[in-house]
Each structure stands twice: as C-alpha cells, then as structure tokens.
Structure 1
Amino acid sequence: MSDTDGKKPLGLGGAPRSGQVKQSFSHGRTKSVVVETKRKRVVVPVAKPGTPGAPAAAGTASHLGDPSKRPAGITDAEMERRLAALRVAKAREAEDAARRAEDEREREEERARKRDEAETKEREERERIEAARAKAAEEERLRAEAAAEAAARAVQRKADVLGTTRRQPAQPAAAEKPAADGRPARNPAPAAPAVDDAIARAPMGAKPGLAPARNKTDREREERERNAKAKAGDEGRRSGKLTLNDALAGEGGRTRSMAAMKRKQEKARQKAMGFGNKPEKQFRDVQLPESITVSELANRMSERAADVVKSLMKMGMMVTMNQAIDADTAELVIEEFGHKVVRVSDADVEQAIEQTKDAAADLETRPPVITIMGHVDHGKTSLLDALRKANVVQGEAGGITQHIGAYQVVTDKGQKLTFLDTPGHAAFTSMRSRGAQVTDIVVLVVAADDAVMPQTIEAIAHAKAAKVPMIVAINKMDKHGADATKVRTDLLQHEIVVEAMSGDVQDVEVSAKTGMGLDNLLEAIALQAEILELRANPNRNASGAVIEAKLDVGRGPIATVLHQNGTLNKGDIFVVGEQWGKVRALINDQGERVDHAGPSVPVEVLGLSGTPSAGDTLNVVETEAQAREIADYRAKSAKDKRAAIGAATTLEQLMAKAKADQDVAELPIIVKADVQGSAEAIVQALEKVGNDEVRVRVLSYGVGAITDTDVSLAEASKCPIIGFNVRANASARNSAHQKGVELRYYSIIYDLVDDIKAAASGLLKAEIRETFIGYAQIKEVFKVTGIGQVAGCLVTEGVARRSAGVRLLRDNVVIHEGTLKTLKRFKDEVKEVISGQECGMAFERYEDIRAGDVIEIFEREEVQRTLA
C-alpha cells in the first residue's frame, strides 16, 4: 500500500513523523532537510481506588487502564509496576506535605512565642520608661507648685503690706475707738480696703464684690502655670508627646525640634536610671622609683598606656611602652595627669616583704630543726636512717652523703622532729655552714673508735658560730675497741664539756647499727627543744631558707626549702634571692604532693623562674609585680656590685696580675652538677688545688645537664667538662665528639678532686736533681791541633763520665759550668775514667784552663712533681 492511497504507513504509534524543510541561503542557494517529529508521551494520573474514575481493585482487568489508550509496547505487568510507583510517590508526597505543614505550624508557634516575648519586653521597657518619666514629671510638678506657692505667698505678703499702708490714714479713729465694754475695738477686716482697691483696679463695666478677687486669683494661677511651663522649658524636660497645639502654643521665638526633644527625653531617662554617668576620676599617690618603664608608670596611675606615650611624645620624647624613663620625666607625666608623686628609692621595693613582728598570742609551738654533723664515715646518715627507719645510705654514691637531706620524723610520742643531714667531707664546708644557720639543735656524731677528727672540729666551730645548742652522739658503741671516755676527753680540748664530765652539753651513747640509745637521743632532743621554747606564727606569709636547689629536666628549677615562719600554700607568689615564682607544687620528704607546708616542714618547691643559690631566703609577697620587681632589683644590685669590683681595679693592678698569671700555669675546667650545693662544694674544693706555680680555674659552673653552650665554651677555652651526677644530652654528646671536647663524669667527689689534682700536677715543671759523681785535678795543659786546650787530669775521687756535666773550680770558686767535649785515656776516646787514673779532658766552647784547677763532675736528673 502506497502513500498515494491516502492511508498512513504501518508502524508503532509512537514512531516519529518525517517531513522535508527547505532552507534558503545567501546568493540564491537552497537545501532540502529531512525533519522528524516525535510524539510526546502523555502520562495520565490514575485516581486512588474507591474514588470516581479510579481503577478497579487488584485481580480485575480494570486497574490496567484502557488498553486502547495505553502506550504501545506496555505490558500489564509494566503498567501495574508504574501505577504502584505512582501510588508510592503520591503517598510520599502526601507525607512530605503533612510534615511541611507540621514544621510550618511549629515555626509559626515559635514566631508567635518570640513575638509575645518581644512585646512583653517592649511593654515592660515602655512601662519602666513611663514610670521614670512620670516620676520625673511628678517631681517637676511638685517643685513647680512649691515655687508657685512661694511666689503666691510673696505676692500676698506684698499685697497685705500695701493694704495696711492704705488703711492707716483712711480710718485713724476706728483703730483707737474703744469698745463698749472698755476693751479696745478690734480692727475692721482688711477686706474692705482690698475690695475698694480691687474695685478701683477693676475694668469698666465689672460688678463690684467678690468677682475681682476671683479674677485676681485666676490671674495668679495662670501666672504660676506660665512660670512653671517656662521653667520646665528651660530645663528641657517635657512630659508626654509634643502635639501640634503645644508646638504652636509658644509666644513666638524659635522652638526645639521633635528629634531634639526626643534626645532630651532619652538623656533624662538614662540619667534617671543611672546610665551614662561617667565615673569620677580618681587621683592617686604614685610611687616613683629612680627608673620606671612607661607601661608600669601607666599601670600605677591607672591610665591608658597609649595616653602616657602620647603625653611623652608631646614633650618631644619618642618612646615605646616597654622603654624605661628617668624619674624626673616620669614626675612631669604624673603631674600632668593630676596625680601625686611619691619618690622612692630602688631599695624600697624590699619593703614589700613583710617584716612585722608577731604578737605573742599568735605564736604556736613548732617542731625543732636538728642538724646532724660530724666527720666523714662516722655514721651520721646511718643514725638518721635508724631514726627514720629508712635506708638512705644505699642511695648515696660511695656510701657518703653529698647533698643536704631534709627529713621529718614522728616519734612514738607523736612529736615531730625535722632533721638535716649534712655531708661530712671537707669539700662540703659551705653546705655544713648553711645547715648550721637554719637549725635549732646540732647533733654532733663522733665515732667511738675514731674520736675527734678534722671535720668534727669544723662542725663544732660552725655550731659555736651559729650559737646553737649541741648534743653529742657517741656512735658505733657496738664495735670492738669503742672508747666513749676518749671521745669525751678529746672534746675537752675544744671547750666541749659533756654532762658525764660535769658539763652542760648532753651526750648519748648510741649505735646506729643495733639501735642502742636511740630512745635516749630522742629524749635528749625533746628536752633541749622544750628548753628552747620554739614557737612560730603559722598564720602569716611564709619565709624560709633554701637548703638545696637543682634543675630537673622535666620539672624545671626545684628548691628544697625549710620554712621558719608562716605557712606556704600552693599558688603563693614568692621571691627567693634573684629569682621569683609561683608555687606550682609542694612535695614533702616522702615524695607526696601537699597543699600546705607549715613552720619547720621541709618541702620541695616547684614553679621557680630560675635556680636559686643554696642559702637564699624565700619570702611570700602579694603580687607577681612585686616579686618580679624585687628579683630584678636584686639581680641588678648583684650585677652592679660585680661591676664596681671590676671598676675598682687600677691599671697597675691589672698589669701586676697579668704578669703574675704569666708565671702561673692554669688548668681551666667547666663544672656541671645536679644540685647547687654540690656545684659550690666542688668549686670550693678545686680552688684549693694548686700552688704558686699551677692552679685550677673554674670557667663556669652551674646546675643541670651538659648542653651545647657548655661544649662551645669548652671548645673555645680548650678545657674539659666535668659532670657531677649529670650527663650530656644527645646533641651535646655529638657536638663534643666532633669538636674533640673531653667529657668526664663523676659521682663521688673524692675521685673528682683526685683526678683534677693529678691533671694539675702535670702542669708542674719537673724538679731537677743534681748528683755529685767525682773530682779531677788538672796537672798539665796541652794544646792539641783540631781540639784546642786539653787538660791532663788525675781523677782524685769518684768517676769521670763523658755524658756528665762539669764545673771548673779555681780557688774553690766556680768560674765555668758546662759539658765535656772529649774524654780520652791515652789516645782512645772513653766513656768514663775511674778514680786514680789519668785522662785528658777538653771543655765545650771554653779554653781558659790552668794547671791546678779542679774539675767537679756531676749528673742531673728530672723528677716529676705532684701536688700535695
């Protein structure tokens, strides 16, 4: 079938229809293009079951739709699937619509609630403003009424005076006419003249009587109202809104705008509510030291630092906030800001440390501080171990104490005792000295088998210098050969008379090993403490002494402090020597963290800005600014003192010292130790090493691990680094290995001092020892060609050697000293000639020899010296 028959070609219903379109181009060109048109697929929505026009229930053929209207190629299953998807989409759309409606309802409720809250707040604010405005208006009205009443009274008094003046000449007889009963007649009412006066002043046509009086009252009221309005206008206070009538009611002149009146009302409302009032400036007494930074000056005046800088710039000084200015300039700035200057010196910063004396009622009994002293290896630490029931000796290197240990012991009776264990070695003299300064009682430990030794004598001297009572503990009574009587007798030589020998010094025989006599020792300590009546005030700022200080890698600078007064709390701000800090933690002798430390309680303090020196005093202050100021002042004073000492040296003294140093060999070293006390003890011990020819020079010493800075200094100075109980970190070790710097580690001070002494001994010049070996007498002098003058000699004593030194004596006077050029026997060169034989000798570079001279023959030997 062809298209000419008028029938459509066979095909699917959705097949595209084609046609041709003719396109035209320029220059008459055309082109035919085939165009296909596709039919749009229309999806008819299906109604829900049960509604008119809805498809029939499942199982029937009606739910599949009209097959004639169904797109071609769609099966029943596909149609069912599409209808199911459509129903699900419709249901989901309905759920979304419901959810959106619910959300919209909740949002509307939230908006309504916020709107109600805003309206409530606005209404409350409006009521508060209206109340303040009404209160202000009421006060103004009362003031206006009071002023009007006062003006009315003044007018009335004036009118009364005028009326009286007019009445007196008009009725002179009426005032003197007596009454019928003989009494003076009362004056007539003043209303008549007032009425007459009012009638006279009344306008024409007005009726006489009371009307003029009322008109006068009305006029006075109107005048009062006008005055009140004028006064209210002057004060710029209006009540209510400004209406058109009020704006036009003025009697001419310029009036304020509505915006200006609203601003006035707002200012009045703010003033009534107490807002916007600038605080009155405070004028202060500013303490002014000799030098102060700009920021600190602004802080003391409570002014802005920028304002202070601006003031200084006006004076022609371009400074910053961190720059220091002198006191005269600061005084000008303080006076410009209106404050009062109080001049203080730099030393006045120390006044921040509380120095008040405690009242007797505030004092409480405190535990005694006992220092154990004695010679090395006399059993001090072992005795303290027995009292503490601990074992500290094993923790000390070499079994000797090298730090000041502070411990607290509680006796069986509940009494607390604080013990300080000081080293007994001679190198720790300064540490023992610090221990004696903070102690209440000294326990002098003397071994019964060794008696009084050098360090025992030093301990006695320290105790006497500190004026501290002493208790003698005669230790090692369990050993064979112990003689306590010998100890008591030896102590008599040092003015120590014990009770056993009718003295006043308590002595107790003890044994740290067996525990013998420990109870008697504690009783003696308790008795001595009771006699001393040791008391302190725990309710004040703490003060104490630094027993030991060190630098811990993880915790920073740490100071062992023994408090003598007050209570140190966590968080307190303190200053100690040239350092300051805030107590970050307190650790007692058991290693436990505590929050408080009372009098006579030793604790480790964390939170310092740097490592203090052992022996420094710790004081608690109020603020960080005070602590920093005191520490800076102390550091500056120490620096100035060192500079003054250097400046006081004259040029002649420097030259003499340089010349003396040329003759003295120096061994430079750098010392790093674990604690401050050990470092000081090592330095003091090394300063004693040497003599007039050699000495040890400590270039630097400090606390903490060996660092790269120490290695750099050692490399520049070509000296070793001594580490006492410390080690170098990894970076410093590598640097020392690369630069060839020697690192030596020690844990016992004996070994350290001995090695340094041996090294210093190597700098000593060797000693030349001379040994006499023989004499020879010159018999004849010969002249030999090629040799020169040759002496024919007879060896009279000893032996003559070719390698020996010789002296030529003439009349027992040495005229030449040198060596032999040749030694011959007959014609042969020999090494030596014995006594009784003849030989020939020639001197090296000397020929003035004569017969009869004597030749002294000797040998020299070099002997290496050592330091004692």
Structure 2
Amino acid sequence: MSDDKKKLGTRPPLGVKRTVETGKVKQSFSHGRSNTVVVEVKKRRILKPGDAKPEAQEEAKAPEAAPEKKEAAPKKAAAPKPAPKKEMSAAERREQVKELERQAEQERMRLEAEQRERDEKAKNAKAEAEERRAEENRKAEEEAERQAAEDAKKAAEDVERAKHEASKAAPAPAAAPRTEERKPAPKKKASKGRPAPDRRSGKLTVNRALRGEDGNRARSLAALKRKREKAKRDHDSGPREKQVRDVVVPDSITVAELAKRMGEKSADLVKSLFNMGMMVTVNQNVDQDTAELLVTEFGHKIQRVSESDVDIDTTEDVDPEDTLQPRPPVVTIMGHVDHGKTSLLDAIRGADVAAGEAGGITQHIGAYQVTPKGGDPITFLDTPGHEAFTEMRARGANVTDLAILVVAADDGLKPQTVEAINHIKAAEVPMIVAINKIDKDGANPQKIREELLQHEIIVEAMSGDVQDVEVSAKKKTNIDKLLEAINLQAELLELKANPDRAADATVVEAQLDKGRGPVATVLVNRGTLKVGDVFVAGAAAGKVRALVDDRGQRVKEAGPSFPVEVLGLSSLPSAGDQFTVVENDQRAREVAEYRQSVIDKKRTTSAPMSLESMFDKKGAETISFPLIVKADVQGTSEAIVNALNKLSTDEIEVRVIHSGVGAITESDVTLAASSNAPIIGFNVRPNSKAREIAKRDEVEFRYYDVIYHLTDWVKQAMAGELGPEIIETVVGRAEVKQVFKSGKKDKAAGLLVVDGVIKLGLHARLTRDDVIVSKTTIASLRRFKDDVKEVEAGTECGAVLEDTNDIEPGDMLEIFEVEERERTL
C-alpha cells in the first residue's frame, strides 16, 4: 500500500499538512447552563523518503475547560501515553470523544444533585417557619377562647345569682371543651429530600392557619372584645331614650326626605302609611297634613313652613352702616332712536361700539365701566332706543343710580324720548339732560329746554334743578363737562355698598354662546363676586367658572357696580333676574327648583275667563299666523315677541309657537315643519343638521339683524295670508213689482229703481224681509222692448237675474260694485 494513500476518516490536507485533529464537545449543566470543550488529538507525521528526520513526538494536550467554568470542569485525567508510531484510527477517536462526554455528564449530574439538596434544605426551613407561625396563632386563639369562656362563665354566674339559683352550676360554654380537646399537633420534621407531610394538601396561608378544626375562621381579638362590650352594655343599661326631633315640613315632601329629617327608617313610615290606608312608596310626595300625622305618631315635633320660605329674599338683608364703602355710580343712557346715545358713550369710552351694531342701531344692553382722567370710575348702561325694547329700557332704569336723557338738538322730543322720561320718573332716579348734535345745522338747544317743560322737567338754565349739558358726540365737545356733572350728582347721592360679603347682583343680559355655553352679563349691586362662588340666578343655578370684564379680559373678582360676564350657568336666566351667591350647591339647587316650579305653574295655569276676554277675539274667524323666533340674547328675544304680538288684528293674530336663545337647531326645524311656521333668526343661523332637515321638509328661514325689517316682513306675510281686501260699493237699489216668465226656465223681474242706478253685469243681492235670499248678477236689463246698459232712479225696467228663479213681488234688489285692494296691516 502506498504511503501517500488517503487514510480513512481523515480530512484532506489544506496547504501544509496538519498534525493535530480538533473537535468540540458540548457539556450541559443544571439550570440551563452549558459549556463547550475543545478536544485536540495529535497524530503522527509520516515522512517520505528524502524528507528530514522525524521530530520528537509531542505529548497530546489534555482537554481544557473555559476559564469561567473551571469550577464545573471534570477532574483532570491522566496524561495520555505517547501515541504509537502508527496513526490513531477513526474508531479510536470516536471512543475517546464518548469517554469525555461521559465524564462531563457525570459531573453535570453531580452538580444537579447538590443543587437539589440545597433547595430541599431551604424548603424544609420555610415549612418549619410556617409551622411555628401557625402554632403561635393557635396559641393566641386558644388564649382568646379561654378568656372569652371565663368572661361568659362569670356573666352566667352573675345572672344565676341574680335569680337566686346559685346552687345550680351553670354549664360551661361549648367553646371550653373544644379548647381542652384541641392540642397542638406534634411537629413533623420533613425528611431530607422530600416535602413535609403537612404541605401535601396545598400552600399554607395565614387564613388557613387561622381556621379552626371545623374549617370556619376563628374570631379575632377585636371581634371578641366588641362582643364583650356589647353584652356588658346591654346588661348594664336599659332601653335607650327616644330622641325627639323638630321636623321642618314644607307644603309637600317625599316619604324618603321626611324619614331622613325624622331620623327614622323609610320602611317604617311606608308601613305606617299602609296602616292609614295610603299605598305610597318612598319616592312619592305626601301633603303637610299627612306628614304631621306621621311626625306625631313617631313622637317628634313638627314645624310647618311654606314653599315660599325656600326662596331668597334680599330685601330684609340690610348691611350695617359701618360696613358700607363708596362705590361707582351706575349711569343709564336713554333717549330716542338715532339721537346719538351709543355715539355719546363711544366718545366717553374712546371705543367704537356703534360700528359693530347692525344698521347703527343698538340691539343689546351694553354694560361698560369707564375711568375718566383724574376722576372716579363710572359704570354705564347703554339701552336700545327702539320702541320694541321698552322692557329692556325699563329694566335698565331699575338698576341705575343716575340717568342721562339724550335729546338731539335738531330733532326735539320724540315719543320714545317721552317714554324714557316716564321710565326715569317711575324709577325715581335723578336725571341729566344731554343735548346732543349741537354741531349740526338747525340745532336749537333752547327749544329742547322749552319742550322739556311740558313734561315737568326744568333745567338749571331755566332756574330748575335738572342739570343739562350741550354736547357733540361726533366732535367730542363738552364731554368733560358731562363727566363733571355725573361726578357731582354721584357725590350728592353718596352711593355706598358693602364689598366684604356674598355678592348680590342683577342679570342685565343673558345669551347662549356656542363655545362658552350660557353666559350672563351681571351688574354687582353689593358684595364681591369671585371665581368659584356658587350662585342662583332666577331659575338657573351654577358655579362661577370665569369672570370676563367689558374689555374681554378675565378677572378673578368683581366688586360693587362692576359689570362682568359670568360663565358657569346650568341654564339661561331671564334678563332682570336677581343673581345671588349662596352657601353651597344644595341650597342653589333648592332655590332654583322652587323658582322653576313657580314658572311652570304660571305657564300651565290658564288665566281666568271674563266676559271681556271672551269677546276680544272672534274665535274660529280669526286666522292664526304661527312663527318661531330665535335670537342671540334673551332681551332681544323678548322684545321681538312683544313687537310681533302688537301686529295682531281681529282678522289675523301672530302666534309665536316658540322663542329661544341660540342657534337654530334641528328640533326648531321639526317644530316648524309640523306647525307650518317660518323660522325667524335674529343674529343667529341654523346648524348643518338643521339646514338638511329644513331642505327636506321645505321650512322657510328668515334672517334679520334689524328689528324694523323683521316687523315689516311679518306685516307683509300676514297681509298675504289674508289675501287682497274686498271692498263693496252699493250703487243702487230696486223693488220687485212683478215677476214674468223669460224663456222656458228663467224668470224676469219687473223692477222699480228706488235709489241710485242699475247697471248691466253688476253684482246684486236679492233680499226678502231684509234676509238675503241669493247673490247674483244682472244678466239682462231691458226698458220697454229695448236692451239698455243702465237704468236710473225713478224709472221702471225688467231684469233677468243669473242663476236664480226664486223671485217674488216685494223683494228688494241691491246692486253693488266689487273692488280688490292690496291689504295692509
């Protein structure tokens, strides 16, 4: 065999022949650990003829473990003997690898056994600790039971002694024998290498350790102590004395609320009512008399109160004199339309408010506070001058300290100027006359002073006591003189208020803002309004979420005579409502619910019928014109409704189905569609859903921002609903003398014209004994044998009446013309 023949089981040489064969053996240990050992086997190098002499044979290296696993490596085997000169076969190498793997496996098993032994020791120690804790718990339980048994035995002996039966010994409680029989179980040592016998049933927990032999949880020391104290209390003291309460009972109260105030159970009250023959539940109301029977039956005292006592009455709450401090005056500007009220306020404020009003007309009440240079703050209320805003102007006069009557020097006193004077007199507030537009051509201030005399207003220039100032709002002339007059009048009034108390204010205006919800403009009368205060405004309750002044800036508080916008209302109050801060939410809800119930009663209760009201309208003959009104603020909505109601006549009346504040919603459109009514939006628009429904149901929208245009359209619509006006003009009368036949069916009447003239083709009424028999027309008119077009009074003629043959001698014929005119209201 050739020497260079390839040996079996050997790799082909790569470059220089390798003299060392290498292999790897993987070792596995406990807990998922493993190690890889590199095994090297040196083989003999075979030399060919001509090669150098063989080198000395090296010793084979022993297997080496990884440095970090030295502690887990098997014991070092003896150094292998020098390899024979003949090369090691593949079978021998495999046998050597198997031997190494066997040694590694033995080492791994040895380490696992040691780990199991350590775990078993830890488990046994834990079991012994739990047994000790259970034993301590059992001892504590036995001690508690023993103490309870002794206490029970003492109590039983005291009872027997009290009954003079001391000779009979009381039997021991059942707990005592069980205590004697229960002995602590002997400890069982867990054998090494297996779990303790007590742990075979499951994990030992605190609850299991505290359970008795019967499986029930043993009572704690605190429970046993409470039981002993209760037994002692029941033994020592007799029945408790019933507490008598003073129960406040309104006109109507629920059974549950009455039971709460009495301190009794609701079921007991319901049972008592059942015995009285009243089948009620805890949520039903009972009247004051029934509540009195229940209160008396349960041994309490009743205090009757009226529902009206729930409401807040601020008139009786008067502040002491020493708490009052000076406050700014509240000035209301009044006058006729377009006499320059808002422009005058702009000149004072230095802000252009009129530019934001539609058509240059003020539609809302504006409240502003102005601090002149070198002067004290002044609060202004700007009220609209249109006649539809009468109630708003009256409301402004009632919250004001001082009124400024604006009269245009070139226009004089107008009806609404006189109306404003009457409001000022009714409010009993001092007045300052501002004669505006003195810069215009034709201005005559002296004429204004003379016209004021007709209404018992005498200005200082004419030896009176009313101040008058000639101003020009456009050129800002004499504005400083007007402010001086206001400060002078305010000093005379000595206006004071207590700022250190809960706020009391008046709602000047209210509106529904899309982003902020219900918003009310209030004027603080006294006290200080702060963020976080709980309040009630009319039938609306809430908590002040934010305060915004007239410049749009947020403030933390508002003192007397300070106008602010209040955010945080639950619903929209009415303009003019009282705004009062209360102590808590419960009180606010109670007052708001009572006021809402009063409003509901007024709405549902019909007004008493009288003879005058019965004949005011003609009932079915009157046409109803339905409308739905939505406005941006409460005061404007009220003014529009009042203006529309004034348009009603005997023939047609305006019926406002619904009026509200805020955007036009889908519910408004649905209501309009069902009642066939148009929707009037004043400074508001419908949302997208409402527009879709309106397009589907063909509901008409009318948008306005000036009240003049709104009322004009309603007048035209109402006139169109009535149709054109029919006017009848009587042109002649005739008396039937004889009746003749005319043709086969018709009859001709022989007439004597009594009055006026009879014309061919005119309308006629045939009356018999002043009762209308028929309405007809003159179909044919003949005098003697000639056809004529008209016959005058005092002559006779024959006439054929269309569509009637019911003619008798003695009947009267009335001839009239009909004219159609466009109807106006």
Structure 2, gaps ≥5 residues long: 1-7, 10-25, 29-35, 38-62, 141-146, 159-165, 180-219
| Aligned residue number for residue 716 of structure 2 | 758
Aligned equivalent of 2:640, options 679, 682, 705 = 682
Partner of 2:631: 673
Distance change >3 Å, CA 269–CA 443, structure 1 → 2: same
Report the Cα distance in structure 1 between the residues aligned to 2:818 and 2:702, rounded to whole angstroms: 37
| SS of the residue 1:71 aligns to | helix
Q: Percent identity of the aligned residues?
A: 51
Measure how far apart 1:522 and its partner are.
Answer: 0.7
Q: What is the aligned partner in structure 1 of residue 650 from structure 2?
A: 692
Q: Over alpha carbons, which structure has the higher Rg?
A: 1
Give the match's secondary structure for 1:403.
coil
Deviation of 1:321 after TM superposition, in Å, equals 4.3
Q: Structure 2 matches for 1:8-23, cutoff 5 A?
A: none
Counterpart code for 2:820: E
Inter-CA distance 304–570: structure 2 relative to 1 (3 Å threshold) = farther
Instruction: State the 1:330 CA deviation.
Output: 3.5
Do the aligned partners of 1:547 and 1:615 also contact (CA within 8 Å) in 2? yes
Q: Give 1:423's aligned residue.
A: 384
Trace 1:123-138 onto structure 2 (pairs within 5 A): none
Match among 407, 410, 414 for residue 368 of structure 2: 407
> 2:431 — aligned with what?
470
Shift in CA distance, 793/417, structure 1 to aligned 2, threshold 3 Å: closer
CA deviation vs aligned residue, 1:127-161 (integer Å, no higher than 9, x gap): xxxxxx9xxxxxxxxxxxxxxxxxxxxxxxxxxxx
Aligned to 1:565: 526
Query: 1-side partners of 2:782 and 2:704: how far apart?
Result: 60
Q: 1:704 maps to which residue?
A: 662
Match of 1:396 in 2: 357
Partner of 1:487: 448
Which residue of 1 is the match for residue 517 of structure 2? Answer: 556
1:783–1:387 distance in 2 versus 1, CA, 3 Å: same
1:843 and 2:803 matched: no
How many Å apart are 1:448 and its aligned residue?
1.2
Please say if residues 354 and 541 of structure 1, whose CA atoms lie closer than 8 Å, have aligned partners that are also in contact: no
Give the letter aligned to residue 463 of structure 1. Answer: I
* SS across alignment from 1:297: helix
Indicate whether 1:516 and 2:477 are aligned: yes
In structure 2, the residue matched to 1:627 is 588
How far the C-alpha of 1:691 sits from its partner, in A, is 2.8
Q: Give the 3-state SS of the residue equivalent to 2:317 in structure 1.
A: coil
Counterpart position of 1:387: 348
- CA distance, structure 1, for counterparts of residue 344 and residue 223 of structure 2: 88
Cα offset, 1:444, TM superposition: 0.6
Match of 1:218 in 2: none
Decide which moves more: 332-341 or 377-386: 332-341
Verify: 1:71 aligned to 2:133, yes or no.
no
- Are residues 1:363 and 2:320 paired? no
Shift of 1:263: 7.1
Q: CA deviation at 1:865?
A: 2.7
Q: 2-side partners of 1:797 and 1:660: how far apart?
A: 35
Per residue, is there more helix in 1 or in 2? 1
Shift of 1:426: 0.6
- Give distance in 2, aligned partners of 1:661 and 1:382: 48
Say which SS state the counterpart of residue 419 (structure 1) adopts: strand
The TM-score normalised by the length of structure 1 is: 0.65
Residues 74 and 288 of structure 1, relative CA distance in 2, 3 Å threshold: same
Q: How far off is 1:497 after superposition?
A: 1.0
- 1:510 CA drift (Å): 1.2
Question: 3-state DSSP class of the match of 2:94?
Answer: coil
Deviation (angstroms), 1:771: 6.4
CA 368–854 in structure 1, closer or farther in 2 if over 3 Å, else same? closer
Distance 2:308 2:89 in 1: 112
Q: Does 1:373 align with 2:334?
A: yes
* 8 Å Cα contact 1:823-1:839 kept in structure 2: no
Alpha-carbon shift at residue 233 of structure 1 (Å): 7.0
For the 8 Å contact 2:751–2:799, the answer to whether it is kept is no
Match of 1:749 in 2: 707
* Alpha carbons 2:157, 2:170 under 8 Å: kept: no
Q: Please state whether the residue corresponding to 2:618 is helix, strand or coil.
A: helix
More displaced stretch, 479-488 vs 781-790: 781-790
In 2, Cα distance between equivalents of 1:264 and 1:841: 125
SS at match of 2:311: helix
Deviation at 1:584, TM superposition (A): 2.4
TM-score normalized by the length of structure 2 = 0.68
Cα deviation, 1:15-53, whole Å, max 9, x if unaligned, reads xxxxxxxxxxxxxxxxxxxxxxxxxx9999876468884
1:300 aligned onto 2:257: no
Counterpart of 2:435 in structure 1: which amino acid?
Answer: I
Counterpart of 1:719, as a letter, is: A
> What is the deviation of 1:675?
1.2
Structure 1: segments with no counterpart, 5+ residues: 1-10, 13-40, 113-117, 127-132, 134-229, 238-249
Q: Which moved more, 1:45-54 or 1:540-549?
A: 45-54
Query: How far apart in 2 are the matches of 1:290 and 1:817?
Result: 66
TM-superposed CA distance for 1:283, in Å, is 5.5
- Please provide the CA RMSD for this pair: 5.5
For 2:223 and 2:592, the matched residues in 1 are separated by 57
Offset, 1:858 = 6.3
Which position in structure 1 is the counterpart of 2:609? 649
- Report if aligned partners of 1:47, 1:53 keep a CA contact under 8 Å in 2: no
Q: Residue 649 of structure 2 aligns to which amino acid in structure 1?
A: N
Aligned 8 A contact 2:783 2:798 in 1:
no
CA distance in 2, matches of 1:430, 1:745: 23
Look up the equivalent residue of 1:381 and give its one-letter code: T
- CA-to-aligned-CA distance 1:743-796 (integer Å, 9 cap, x gap): 212111000111111122234464444668899999x999976786598999x9
Structure 1 counterpart of 2:778, from 820, 823, 826: 820
Tell me what 2:821 maps to: 863
- Distance across 1 between alignment mates of 2:271 and 2:735: 102
1:404 is displaced (CA, Å) by: 0.7
Aligned partner of 2:678 in structure 1 is 720
Of 750, 760, 766, the match for 1:802? 760
In the alignment, the residues of structure 2 paired with residue 352 and residue 424 of structure 1 have an alpha-carbon distance, to the nearest angstrom, of 32
Alignment of 1:580-591 (within 5 A): 580-591=541-552
Residues 280 and 373 of structure 1: CA distance in aligned 2, closer, same or farther (over 3 Å): farther
User: Partner amino acid for 1:752?
Assistant: L
**Residues 590, 792 of structure 1: CA spacing in aligned structure 2 closer, same or farther, 3 A cutoff?**
closer
The whole-number CA distance in structure 1 between the counterparts of 2:27 and 2:717 is 111
Amino acid at match of 1:71: R
Match in the other structure for 2:18 = none
Distance in 1 between the 2:253 and 2:396 partners?
A: 39
Q: Aligned to 1:535, which of 492, 496, 508?
A: 496
Residues in 1 aligned to 2:780 and 2:679: alpha-carbon distance in whole angstroms: 53
Structure 2 residue matching 1:637: 3-state secondary structure? helix
| Secondary structure of the structure 2 residue equivalent to 1:605 | strand
The aligned amino acid for 2:799 is A
1:251 Cα shift?
12
